[in-house]
A and B are shown apart, each in its own frame.
Chain A
Amino acid sequence: MAIGKSLDYKKSCDSFLKLVLKRKNLNAAWIIETKEKRLISKYSIPRGKEINIKSSKEIDWLLSTIKSTKLIKYDDRYEDLAPIEIKDGNLAIFTLKDQGFLFLFSKKNNLRTKDLLQLQSVIDTFSINLKACKVFAEQHNLLSNLEIQNQELSDYAHMVSHDLKSPLRSIDGLTMWLHEDYKDKFDDYGKQQLRLIRSNVDKMDTLISGILEYSTIDKNQVDTYDVDINVLIDDTLSVLKIPEHIAIIRKFLPVVKGDRYRLQQLFQNLIDNAINFNDKANGYIEIGALEKDEFWEFYVQDNGKGIENVYFNKIFKTFESLENNLKSTGMGLSIVKKIVHLYEGDIWLTSEPGKGTTFHFTLKK
């Protein structure tokens, strides 16, 4: 019997029940589910009216007596059970467990007890197939909804970020004018407050830019071409302010396939992070790569503050920052993780508090 060839509910019913109708020379087949004392039709061949009615006592009693299967003479008392108009004949009812009841109808006497016994095992398998169809449909719906919600969230983040930037620029401009126009009138405390406003505005600007970047990383088409990571690190270091007490050590760095802009975002965030959390008088950041069979394993190592094991997952989440640091927005490492995943790579870290941290990530060759 053609069971389990499809995970589509209607197709599964079509292929199996049409075969049963042909093989047994029957006239009709349909499936009814019972839900909160209601009868709901799920499938019918021939196509009939949709059933969604309150069950009667008589039908409740009939269905409650069916342990696996039952053969009855059809009469008008069971009219509510049939989506199609039928008169006299034999009606076989099979329980499909959570999937309701299957009804097979024969105008002539083509359904006998031996037919029911013969069909029982295949109908049990059919009921499992129907359950799989439903689970598959639910999973499909969940995924579709998730995709829609993700898109909406991303669009929302994009829109809000743009809208927030505008008043932020106004605040920044206004505080700058205040500082310039009234610098003689502010005392030290006033000047300090103004500086605090501007640094918070800066932080907020960085945060919004981070949200924007995060929400657009996987939205635009990803072009891949050869990118020399040595050259890319030169460019990255030129835009970052490297404090004098931190040395940059470069080891072997390969040419990889990727998009230059995103790869620069990736390294820039990791190096920036290593700078911001380095508390040593003689700090260093070492950048290198190891060749593996199918990918490059990069690392960015520092001798900074280090991170406790318990925070290893937390630091990659958006808006999560381990310190209330004006320079940290909590977006940098989540952007890093998203870029690595975009290129189907993995990212992880090893760290020892007080001694330093190494971020490892892979990029396909």
Chain B
Amino acid sequence: MLITTVRIIEIVNLISQHAKDEAVLISIGEHTEVDINELIIALNSVNLKFIGGLFPKVVHENSILEKGIVINRLHNVENLFLVHNVSKKEYRIPQVNFDKNEPYSLFTYVDGLTSNISYYLSELYETYGMRTNYFGGGAGSLTLEQKPCVFSNEGFYQDAAVFCVMRMQSQIGVRHGWNKVAGPFIVTKAEGNIIKEINWENPFKVYKEVVELHANKQFTNNNFFDIAKGYPFGIVKDNAECIVRDPLMVNDLGEIICVGELEDNTLVDILNGNENSLIQASKLAAEESLEQAISPTKAIIIDCISRVLFLEDNFDQELNAITQTIKEKHPNISISGALTLGEISSYGEGFLDFYNKTVVVGLFE
């Protein structure tokens, strides 16, 4: 459900009617003129259970909106959790009693601009393992200024994550459409989201050599992101697409700062994509999720905001490719989602990862 009013009473009424005594997932476009702290107080006053996040844009059916509140009812929620201090690693993931005969899905929003997100995802997987599917994304502002962006009944926070565990079958498709230009290279030194060395050399020197030749463009003092947005790194992965890391800027030392962390000795390729390959990949993600789904009632799309920045006006085609593919098979399904700062899922139900420049489609039965 999409809510466009900004009056708190109306929002609460609409959510209450939609929730039907179940918990809800609330995704809000960052330019929506609503006071989130007031909204939390009002939702608590009617005893609604919820988790949510603030995003550069939200998705409802075939539209992308800077303003608006998208509501998804969460069926059979076992637990809702809030995790503080993601960057400091000072938390414990609570235990959940899983019934081994039931399927489970875990949905999470995390502050996409905080550090140690990989550790948070690793803790989730270490605790819950293969007993659930995982799905979610990074919340935050397109200004890339870190501020409160995830919320639950307990409040509105930055450097935090919210998640829920639902007794529900889900099918997930993950694709990005970026293809290898050169590699593999070894990230011989990395610290958090900073690449400090590639092949024991200055990383920008190595990156520049490959990208300038391929793009037929020269890096200057102020055009790094303009060129680099089309040349992400890909962490090599066997049996699946590589994990994309988005180079954001280069510092005075020639180190490359990415969205998302890398570890020492990670093997990476330098990638490139075009409109066609990206749009085709989003269609594949939708098809992948549909392969196993029997009768899904809802689709949630978690798509990276940087794909919008890359595809610009053609991003509509990406969204169309996803919605049409899903609607062709399940015309009555509700489609919603968010354009995020990083995407979360497990490829083929493997170890959990934080992606960049990727589209994740989740179908919930």
Contacts and interface: CB of A to CB of B under 8 A. Distances in A.
B263 A28 contact: no
B264 A21 contact: no
B331 interface: no
A325 to B, nearest CB: 64
Interface stretch (A107-115, A124-132, A177-185, A202-210): A107-115
Contact of B100 (A2, A19, A22, A85): A85
Given A46-B126, A46-B127, A46-B129, A27 B349 contact: yes
Interface of A is mostly: loop
Contacts of B350: 21-22, 25-27, 106-108, 110
A18 B238 contact: no
B125 A46 contact: yes
Nearest to A89: B130
A25 B128 contact: no
A47 interface: yes
A47 B130 contact: no
Given A1-B265, A2-B264, A19-B263, A24 B239 contact: yes
Interface residues of A, number: 26
B219 interface: no
A6 B350 CA distance: 26
A5 interface: yes
Interface in B308-355: 347-351, 353
A22 B348 contact: no
B236 interface: yes
A115 B353 CA distance: 21
B351 A84 contact: no
Contact of B351 (A25, A85, A108): A25
Nearest to A105: B130
A110 B129 CA distance: 17
Given A2-B264, A19-B263, A22-B353, A86 B130 contact: yes
B217 interface: no
A194 B343 CA distance: 93
A265 interface: no
Contacts of B20: none
Nearest to A108: B348
Contacts, number: 74
Contacts of A15: 263
Contacts of B266: 19
B126 A110 contact: no
Contacts of B236: 23
B265 A115 contact: no
Interface in B159-176: none
Contact of B349 (A2, A85, A107, A115): A107
Contacts of B206: none
A197 to B, nearest CB: 68
A27 B349 CA distance: 7
A290 to B, nearest CB: 50
A45 interface: yes
A45 B126 contact: yes
The B interface is mostly helix, strand or loop, or mixed, namely mixed
B351 A27 contact: yes
Interface in B99-145: 100, 122, 125-131
A22 B345 CA distance: 12
A2 B263 contact: yes
Nearest to B125: A46
Nearest to A19: B263
Contacts of B263: 2, 15, 19
A142 to B, nearest CB: 31
Contacts of A47: 126-127, 129
B240 interface: yes
Interface string B245-288: 00000000000000000011111000000000000000000000
Contact of A18 (B122, B243, B265): B122
Contacts of A18: 122, 351
Contacts of A115: 238
Given A22-B351, A27-B351, A110 B238 contact: yes
A105 B250 CA distance: 39
Of the candidates B126, B129, B349, the one having the most CB atoms from chain A within 10 angstroms of its own CB is B129
Contacts of A110: 238-239, 348, 350
A137 B131 CA distance: 34
Interface in A108-161: 108, 110, 115
Nearest to A115: B238
Contact of B240 (A1, A19, A25, A84): A25
Contact of B130 (A5, A25, A28): A28
Interface string A295-308: 00000000000000
11 contacts: A2-B263, A19-B266, A22-B237, A23-B267, A25-B351, A26-B350, A28-B130, A47-B129, A107-B349, A108-B350, A110-B350
Interface of B: 100, 122, 125-131, 235-240, 243, 263-267, 347-351, 353
Given A27-B351, A46-B125, A46-B126, 8 more contacts: A23-B237, A46-B128, A47-B127, A84-B129, A106-B350, A107-B348, A110-B238, A110-B350
9 tightest A-B contacts by CB? Answer: A46-B129, A21-B351, A25-B350, A110-B239, A25-B239, A25-B240, A22-B351, A24-B238, A46-B126
